[in-house]
A and B are shown apart, each in its own frame.
Chain A
Amino acid sequence: DTEVTQTPKHLVMGMTNKKSLKCEQHMGHRAMYWYKQKAKKPPELMFVYSYEKLSINESVPSRFSPECPNSSLLNLHLHALQPEDSALYLCASSPPVGVGEAFFGQGTRLTVV
């Protein structure tokens, strides 16, 4: 299994809503990532978890809250988002940090209205 699975595929939420994005991998990877990608732009790193601990936060606003319940799961909790937060949110995983390539999921297309 070389897949990173993200749910939901699409999400529309209001600015006062609370929602969560989910990511799962069963490759035994110990590093997991959240990226944000705007249309026609490259992915931008948001967070990195290494061995279930947050190791990088790229100065992301607190309305985005990551969580890593175990080595296979990664969540991104969303609250009070703005329309400009609409984007494709990508999850990725890789072997222990600094060792190998990152595999990306299909992404969640988020629209904030």
Chain B
Amino acid sequence: GENVEQHPSTLSVQEGDSAVIKCTYSDSASNYFPWYKQELGKGPQLIIDIRSNVGEKKDQRIAVTLNKTAKHFSLHITETQPEDSAVYFCAASEGQNDYKLSFGAGTTVTVRA
């Protein structure tokens, strides 16, 4: 099955700086890569996703890059704000089935004011 590794496990950044989280996956057939943000006491919220036919996608301060050859993808948050503090999970589809996602272990991001 799919194995997703996520680094770092914790990340502390100064407000206004950028944050980068990296994930690698094992299944070369995976074609869907979402990122979720989970705040304390809440369910995961999809913040951005990318499919294998695209190398980069951006939505305001958030961007995701995908390198299919190297089997890794990254989340970039620019101009971080205190409300960006949360746990972030990357995920990859198992093969070409979007409905079965393998999640990374999560990154706890803390934005210092």
Residues of A within 8 A of B (CB): 4, 6, 31, 33, 40-43, 45, 48, 50, 55-56, 90, 92, 94, 97-107
> 5 A–B contact pairs at CB < 8 A?
A42-B103, A45-B100, A56-B99, A104-B43, A107-B43
Residues of B within 8 A of A (CB): 34, 36, 41-46, 49, 89, 91, 96-101, 103-106
A45, A100, A105: the one contacting B98 at CB < 8 Å is A100
| B34→A101 contact, CB < 8 A | yes
Known: A40-B106, A90-B43. 10 other contacts (CB 8 A): A4-B43, A43-B44, A43-B89, A55-B99, A92-B43, A98-B98, A100-B98, A102-B34, A102-B101, A106-B41
| B46→A101 contact, CB < 8 A | yes
Whole-angstrom distance between the Cβ of B57 and the nearest chain A Cβ:
13
Instruction: Give the interface centre of B42, B91, B99, B105 by most chain A CB atoms within 10 Å.
Output: B99
| A97→B103 contact, CB < 8 A | no
B89, B98, B99: the one contacting A42 at CB < 8 Å is B89
Residue of B nearest to A107 (CB): B43
CA distance A94 to B42 in the complex (A): 18
Residue of B nearest to A49 (CB): B99
Residues of A contacting B104 in the complex (Cβ-Cβ under 8 angstroms): 42
